[in-house]
Structure 1
């Protein structure tokens, strides 16, 4: 199920090449994770929409760089009602760092997702987080082993999919959290219909996250009506006042 390099956008091929070359951790981690499902339940009990707000300095699909202190951005997102945070640790293309993740996780009390391109088991051991992203398309047949390895360390793996085949592969693992990415990582094109097409195939006992392309309150409602338990939002929160943007999208 590994994607052939030829059908990927040049930016994505560059990201994967860099990811494969990055070293893993020097020791096996043991993580005492903050529960993401419990945080989602608590948010919903308050009548708000569970949002994973993303600290994303830059990306291949956005213009410019946001150079605010990432810890202050994270605190503002939590103040705006974020259920959890996603922190980029990919350095070359997204301006992220493991240092930022460590500082943010120390500064907030919500679950923190490490968003990166983890390609092998040793890369799980680079930095502690509560959730860790595993992209089905890029890890291929190693997905189930990586899910197990992540859970053995105490991480909550968020398995990201974009197609029905990838979703089937994710559901065949022990993953409890699945994210449906509306962005085709091969072409970097976004279609909210992707989530709507796949969400109905996800069992009720799997926590389902809608990723990418959510910009407006209408988009939030659309994803929630299609079955999203939570939404991961990056650019729409980072573009402007992050506290106000988070509050607006989580207070529907």
Structure 2
């Protein structure tokens, strides 16, 4: 499947660059921190489980955040983030595997590697607690990549955009699913995407809402729709990182699971 034919030009460019990147020289082995356990700890502490994203820039944002990524990560954790997402894609997001390594050494929460992994060898780029696989982009290789990632010790966040992709993710054995509210064709965000997909997710699957979560009201909306956790990037990176994280992790913390 050539997913690049179905997405916006900016995403086509990202995929083209991802196809050209190789992997590490050696197979990695990871002793991962548990993401579901981190979510449970946040809940027990009265916090919304938020994965705060260290994202220097992106095709859908203006400008670039040039702060020390480790300092940003530490502020996110101080603000209550249950876990972190770190961009390792260099050309379009300003990330790097080196940043992830430094951040993971500095914090005591699970760290997700946010990148566009298309081949097994790309799993060996850097150690992380969780790795992202985007169902639309890996196509029929999803089950094999999921197994390869777990064999290395990674937890896997499988990202989907609709119910068809959700079905493929569940059939492949996904235990953690993220629903991305961003339409990859027009790059528009609609929180109703999560609300459409969430009811089809089994209760034993950890469910994460991704993209477009900007305000405490958005947090409450996604939690009421069934989100176990939220992945938030721009709304935290834009301004005071600690204060923004705290605002979202304290929003609607008493919302009942649905």
Query: Is this a same-fold pair by TM over 0.5?
Result: yes
Give ranges in structure 2 of 5+ residues lacking alignment.
252-258
Once the two structures are TM-superposed, the CA of residue 8 in structure 1 deviates from its matched residue by: 1.5
Once the two structures are TM-superposed, the CA of residue 121 in structure 1 deviates from its matched residue by: 0.3
Once the two structures are TM-superposed, the CA of residue 3 in structure 1 deviates from its matched residue by: 4.6
Q: Deviations over 1:165-201 (max 9, x none)?
A: 1000001122210000000123211100000000000
1:3–1:137 contact (8 Å) kept in structure 2:
no
Partner of 1:182: 181
1:168 and 1:144 mapped to 2: Cα distance?
12
Q: Find the residue that maps to 2:213 and give its secondary structure.
A: coil
Partner of 1:125: 124
Q: How does 1:25-64 map to 2 (within 5 A)?
A: 25-64=24-63
Q: Find the residue that maps to 1:14 and give its secondary structure.
A: helix
Q: Find the residue that maps to 1:15 and give its secondary structure.
A: helix
Partner of 1:149: 148
Partner of 2:256: none
Partner of 2:254: none
Q: Find the residue that maps to 2:201 and give its secondary structure.
A: coil
Asked if 1:11 corresponds to 2:15, the answer is no
1:54 and 1:69 mapped to 2: Cα distance?
14
Aligned length: 251
2:131–2:157 contact (8 Å) kept in structure 1:
yes
Q: Deviations over 1:53-86 (max 9, x none)?
A: 0000000000000000000000000000000000
2:3–2:137 contact (8 Å) kept in structure 1:
no
Q: Which deviates further from its counterpart, 4-13 or 55-64?
A: 4-13
1:21 and 1:183 mapped to 2: Cα distance?
25
Once the two structures are TM-superposed, the CA of residue 27 in structure 1 deviates from its matched residue by: 1.2
2:51–2:232 contact (8 Å) kept in structure 1:
yes
2:83 and 2:3 mapped to 1: Cα distance?
33
Once the two structures are TM-superposed, the CA of residue 25 in structure 1 deviates from its matched residue by: 1.4
- Please report the TM-score for the alignment, with normalisation by the length of structure 1: 0.98
Q: Deviations over 1:117-156 (max 9, x none)?
A: 0000000000000000000000000001111110110000
| Structure 1 runs, 4 residues or longer, greater than 6 Å off | none
Q: Find the residue that maps to 1:47 and give its secondary structure.
A: coil
1:221 and 1:180 mapped to 2: Cα distance?
16
Q: How does 1:64-83 map to 2 (within 5 A)?
A: 64-83=63-82
Q: Which deviates further from its counterpart, 184-193 or 58-67?
A: 184-193
2:245 and 2:103 mapped to 1: Cα distance?
17
* RMSD after superposition: 0.8
2:3 and 2:116 mapped to 1: Cα distance?
16
